[in-house]
Chains A and B, each alone.
Chain A
């Protein structure tokens, strides 16, 4: 399995990507949410950190749980003002 975590020159973003790449998919725990391409983007501004995620399919019941786990993981690592945003496109 290739590590799909993008390497960015931005250290702050890279740290968040590294944390996200430790979160397992609830249904297939041998894969992480970054392996599956569920995390689309990470955006850091002065006000908040926004994590853009996409469901694997429209009805994926794990999406809400994944969003909650991302939030808990980042809070536990000391981050604040975390926003989860769902993107559908590109499908």
Chain B
């Protein structure tokens, strides 16, 4: 078994699953119906991507591993998702900015993966890229609308930037298990440039260089992940193997 391939596939799966779970918390709570539907559909796209990755990981691991056992029976330290994905929803500004930072990254990442040597990852990436391009457009529009909106919405977006920026450094530190698939450092310059373009239109200020958090890719998480897994895994932990 190729543990680098397994770990990388799980990293991709976990990031999509955790961000899907976070976005799904908005279900029934969106600011207007249209946006409630948008954010939960983005959640559904991410969940679908996570399933594709988990199914592939389960086929590599073999034995009793299934997409469900990988999502529901692993503990915090085994999850390899980006720290950015697990950050709390905060207000609408923080939620759309988290999606914007991630989609901006995921779009660049999937563009490379779709031409990668691993056929299954390339196929999943090509499908997911279509979805990521929509997520990117949607979240960019919201960053601009709030940044270039009222004094209140601008301040909330600026607060969200301060809260989330320290979790963006990790995106561009390539973990050992990633090396044969992608060099994430090369994505940093285009990511920064694209973020700056949107921030300029949104009249938002790019943050100064600051201390960056890392560890998610290695299973070292913020306190947020434990609470997410508690809710996400509750049913399968309490009634193992339950089906409906």
Contact = CB atoms under 8 A, between A and B. Distances in A.
B48 A55 contact: yes
A58 B48 contact: yes
Interface residues of A, number: 11
B129 interface: yes
Interface stretch (B120-128, B181-189, B225-233): B120-128
A61 interface: yes
A57 B52 CA distance: 11
Interface string A55-66: 101111100000
B45 A90 contact: no
Nearest to A89: B123
A58 B131 contact: yes
B48 A88 contact: no
Chain A residues touching B, majority SS = loop
B45 A91 contact: no
B49 A88 contact: no
B126 A90 contact: yes
A88 B52 contact: yes
Given A88-B52, A91-B129, A91-B130, A59 B47 contact: yes
Contacts of A58: 45, 48-49, 51-52, 124, 127-128, 131
A62 to B, nearest CB: 11
A61 B228 CA distance: 23
Given A57-B131, A58-B52, A58-B131, A88 B126 contact: yes
A91 to B, nearest CB: 4
Contact of A61 (B44, B128, B131): B44
Contacts of A60: 48
B47 A91 contact: no
B47 to A, nearest CB: 5
Given A57-B45, A58-B45, A59-B44, A89 B126 contact: yes
B157 to A, nearest CB: 28
Contacts of A59: 44-49, 51
B48 A57 contact: yes
Interface in B128-160: 128-131
A88 B122 CA distance: 9
A88 B127 CA distance: 7
A61 B131 CA distance: 15
A57 B130 contact: yes
Contacts of B45: 57-59
A58 B49 CA distance: 5
Contacts of A88: 52, 120, 123-124, 126-127
A60 B130 CA distance: 14
11 contacts: A55-B48, A55-B127, A57-B127, A58-B49, A58-B127, A58-B128, A59-B45, A59-B46, A88-B52, A89-B126, A91-B127
Given A58-B124, A88-B126, 4 more contacts: A59-B48, A88-B123, A89-B123, A91-B123
User: What are the 7 closest A-B residue pairs judged by CB atoms, nearest first?
Assistant: A59-B48, A58-B48, A89-B123, A88-B123, A59-B44, A91-B126, A91-B127
Interface of B: 44-49, 51-52, 119-120, 122-124, 126-131
